[in-house]
Amino acid sequence: AQSVTQLDSHVSVSEGTPVLLRCNYSSSYSPSLFWYVQHPNKGLQLLLKYTSAATLVKGINGFEAEFKKSETSFHLTKPSAHMSDAAEYFCVVSGGATGNQFYFGTGTSLTVIP
Amino acid sequence: EPEVTQTPSHQVTQMGQEVILRCVPISNHLYFYWYRQILGQKVEFLVSFYNNEISEKSEIFDDQFSVERPDGSNFTLKIRSTKLEDSAMYFCASKIRQGRNEKLFFGSGTQLSVL
């Protein structure tokens, strides 16, 4: 079975400081992992994905995530937060019989303080 | 970037009424999905649809739910007799091909409120 756990429901950072959003996964095989972001009144937008190529994955808007199999983690980071980064972030693992189901974490709400 | 479009953005209905949530997936995509998110809870998979039939569905997707692709562009979710607990944000999604590496494109959601 596949699942993800997002360790923080809320994260608050000051503008210009680093961002760390934590995610741990559980998967019965080599997983495909995704980070999606949801801005208010917007759809879910893909930030980045890991699909067993490089363990350090770079995404849009300066975000990146590192896949660590030994820690079963896929934490999302950004060196310097911007006000526009304030949003809800979801860690997702794909699975199911055909690989077509996406399993979402509970989400982390990021607040950026000016 | 191409977008999945959902209408309406908000829907209010009385308990027991039927609702239809509409989605226009990206035009060359072949796999379609509905997810929902009850306030404060996880985004949950409801159903996937391919080649004009349901390919997978969750326990949530019981007999009160149905999906349809009535023409070449629309993908609808019908809830036959709504309950209070159906109140949630419903997301439509699509992707171009099968496989766990393929990303899903999501719409902006329909917020359903059942009174």
Q: Rounded CA gap, B51 and B98, in Å?
A: 12
Report CB contact under 8 Å: A94, B107.
no
Q: Which residues 36-75 of B have a C-beta within 8 angstroms of A?
A: 41-45, 48, 55-56
For the domain that residue B13 is a member of, what is the CATH number?
A: 2.60.40.10
- Split into its structural domains, chain A has a count of 1
Q: What is the rounded average pLDDT for all residues in chain B?
A: 91
CB pair distance less than 8 Å for A102 and B56: no
Q: Considering the domain boundaries, does residue B111 fall inside one?
A: no
- Chain A nearest-CA residue for B98: A100
At residue A33, the 3 state secondary structure works out as strand
CB under 8 Å to A44, separation ≥6 — which residues? A36, A37, A38, A90, B43, B91, B93, B104, B106
More confident residue, B89 or A101: B89
- Between B31 and A51, the higher pLDDT residue: B31
Q: What is the DSSP letter of B103?
A: P
Q: What is the mean pLDDT of the segment spanning A8-33? A: 92
- Domain residues for the domain of B34 are 5-97
Environment class of residue A35 by beta-carbon count within 10 Å: exposed (0-12), middle (13-18) or buried (19+)?
A: buried
Domain residue limits at A81: 3-113
Q: Label residue B18 by pLDDT band (50, 70, 90).
A: very high
Per-residue pLDDT at A30 exceeds 80: no
**What CATH number has the domain bearing residue A14?**
2.60.40.10
Q: Looking at chain B, which residue has its C-alpha nearest residue A30?
A: B100
Mean pLDDT of all residues belonging to chain A = 90
Give me the residue from A41, A43, A99 closest to B4, CB to CB: A43
Question: Chain A: which residues have CB within 8 Å of chain B?
Answer: 31-32, 34, 36, 41-46, 49, 51, 90, 94-107
Looking at beta carbons, which residues of chain A come within 8 Å of B45? 96, 101-103
Identify the closest residue of chain B to A42 by CA–CA distance. B108
Judge whether B62 lies within some domain.
yes
For residues B115 and B103, what is the distance between their CA atoms, to the nearest angstrom?
A: 35
- pLDDT digit string, tens, across residues A64-111: 999 998 999 999 999 999 999 999 999 998 876 666 778 899 999 999
The total number of structural domains that make up chain B: 1
Q: Which one of B9, B56, B91 has the shortest CB-CB distance to A101?
A: B56
User: Which structure tokens are listed for A53?
Assistant: 């190529």
